[in-house]
Each structure stands twice: as structure tokens, then as C-alpha cells.
């Protein structure tokens, strides 16, 4: 009984069984649509590509400026016929017009277009990786549910076998077999829980989220309608 209690507590902590965690999970539910939105917005490769686009935009703005150089002030000292000393000052303000300016603008615009294409590629790649992780988490979660049901059934059978043995209606071997099946069910449940944890870490890495962040995954493997629409429209 103590072993069953510790196992249930561990799984409840992992799956977010406490009421507060369940309330938080209801607010932070991951669906396929939200996975795509998060991947486009916060995936590490997307954020890096966005920073490159912002840098190229700043360079283009600088290239378009009319005065890329600082103004200069020059003075010339002279003497007239009466030996009076005079100084003539000349202020030069570069405007920046000409072939050089247009070349800088062209280069900056080409670099911006290149980074924008890389950003689009990064978003498509992030969406693909995040959806793949999402659809791996779904079956892993379902296997944990099935293993939990199997453990509960094995515990009931072990209890029934023990009662029948005490009543003299079953041999000790039946109790041993029931206990063995329960131990196997516990091992399978722990293994499936570990697999689910690994898939959850992969999902978090694909979305750029903290590994400890708990998000409840909701979806149906048989329903690929959203994925089909996404591929048909090329919105990824």
C-alpha cells in the first residue's frame, strides 16, 4: 500500500494532479493551434532571426539618412595690406547624395530581404519541430493513462486473490501471480512516465519554454484537420 501511495503521489506531481495545478493547466492548455502560435513567436531560432531582421532594418534606416558623416569646420588665417590678421571660417555639411548612398541603400535592402526570408524559414522549421513534438506527447500521455488503468486493475485482482486465499478458495500461487502482475504494471507505468517526461522536455525545447513549465496537452491523434489546413494554406 505504501508503494502504491508513493507511486500515485509521484505521478500526480508529474501530471499536475493537485487542484491548483489543474486550475493552472486549464489556463495553459496546449492545442495544435497554440503550439503553432508559440513556435512562430517564441521559438529560439525564430527570436534569433527576428533580431537579425531588426538589425538589418536599422542598417537600412541608417543608409537612407542624408547626412551619414559629421559636418566639418575649416578656418583659414590671412593678412591684408594693413597687416591686419583675419580668419575665414567655412562650415561643410555633407548631404550624402550620390552613387555611394544609393549603393549603401541597395546593399542594406538586400540584406534585409535575405534576413526576412531566413525568418520565414525559421518560423516554418520551428512550427514543424513543435508540431512533431506535440504529436509525440499525445500518444505518450495516452500510454500513461492506459498503464495507470492497468495498474489499478492489477491491484484489484491482487486484492481479490488475497481475499480468496484467506477464505481458502484460491492457492497461494494465484496470489503470487497477481502480485507479480501488479509489479509489472508498476514498472510499465514508471517507464511510460519517463517516456512522457522526455517527450515533454523535447516539446519545451522546441517551443523555447522552461523545462519545468507545466502545460496540459490536449488533442486527438485521429483528428488531423488543423494540420491538413495548415499544410494546404502554407501558413506554417
Question: What is the full DSSP assignment across 13-53?
Answer: HHHT-SHHHHHHHHHSEE-HHHHHHHHHHH-HHHHHHHHHH
Confidence of residue 208 (pLDDT cuts 50, 70, 90): confident
Q: Does position 219 have pLDDT exceeding 60, yes or no?
A: yes
Residue 133 CB: number of other CB atoms within 10 A?
21
Contacts of residue 96, Cβ cutoff 8 Å, sequence gap at least 6: 65, 66, 67, 68, 69
- Which cell is 116 given? 526576412
pTM score, whole prediction: 0.60
Alpha-carbon span 19 to 25, nearest angstrom: 10
Q: Is 24 a residue whose pLDDT tops 80?
A: no
- Per-residue pLDDT of 53-105, as tens digits, reads 999 999 888 888 765 555 565 655 565 555 566 666 666 656 555 677 788 88
Rg (CA), the chain: 34
Residues 47/53, Cβ–Cβ less than 8 Å: no
Q: Are 133 and 208 in contact (CB under 8 A)?
A: no
Beta-sheet strands, E only, within the chain: 29-30, 72-79, 85-92, 216-217
C-alpha cell at 22: 489543474
Chain segment 95-141, per-residue pLDDT in tens:
555 677 788 888 999 999 999 999 999 999 999 888 888 888 888 98
Average pLDDT of the residues of the chain? 78
Residue 1 pLDDT: 46
Between helices 172-207 and 99-166, what is the axis angle to 10°?
170
Q: How confident is the model at residue 209 (pLDDT cuts 50, 70, 90)?
A: confident
CA distances from 70 to 58, 73, 219 (A): 19, 10, 60
Q: Rounded to whole angstroms, what are the CA distances from 146 to 116, 192, 201?
A: 46, 10, 21
Nearest to residue 126, comparing CAs of 221, 209, 199? 209
Q: What is the pLDDT of residue 222?
A: 72
Amino acid at each position: 500500500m505504501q508503494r502504491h501511495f508513493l507511486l500515485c503521489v509521484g505521478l500526480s506531481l508529474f501530471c499536475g494532479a493537485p487542484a491548483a495545478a489543474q486550475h493552472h493547466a486549464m489556463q495553459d492548455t496546449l492545442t495544435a493551434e497554440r503550439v503553432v502560435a508559440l513556435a512562430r513567436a517564441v521559438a529560439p531560432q525564430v527570436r534569433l532571426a527576428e533580431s537579425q531582421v531588426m538589425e538589418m532594418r536599422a542598417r537600412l534606416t541608417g543608409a537612407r539618412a542624408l547626412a551619414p558623416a559629421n559636418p566639418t569646420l575649416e578656418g583659414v588665417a590671412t593678412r591684408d595690406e594693413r597687416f591686419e590678421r583675419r580668419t575665414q571660417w567655412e562650415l561643410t555639411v555633407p548631404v550624402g547624395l550620390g552613387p555611394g548612398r544609393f549603393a549603401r541603400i541597395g546593399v542594406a535592402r538586400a540584406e534585409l530581404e535575405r534576413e526576412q526570408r531566413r525568418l520565414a524559414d525559421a518560423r516554418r522549421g520551428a512550427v514543424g519541430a513543435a508540431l512533431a513534438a506535440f504529436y509525440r506527447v499525445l500518444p505518450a500521455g495516452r500510454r500513461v493513462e492506459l498503464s495507470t488503468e492497468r495498474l489499478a486493475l492489477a491491484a484489484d485482482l491482487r486484492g481479490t486473490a488475497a481475499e480468496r486465499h484467506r477464505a481458502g478458495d484460491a492457492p497461494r500461487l494465484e496470489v503470487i501471480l497477481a502480485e507479480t502482475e501488479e509489479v509489472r504494471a508498476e514498472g510499465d507505468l514508471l517507464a511510460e512516465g519517463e517516456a512522457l517526461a522526455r517527450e515533454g522536455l523535447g516539446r519545451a525545447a522546441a517551443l523555447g519554454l522552461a523545462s519545468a513549465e507545466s502545460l496540459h496537452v490536449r488533442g486527438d491523434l485521429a483528428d488531423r484537420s488543423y494540420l491538413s489546413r495548415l499544410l494546404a494554406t502554407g501558413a506554417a
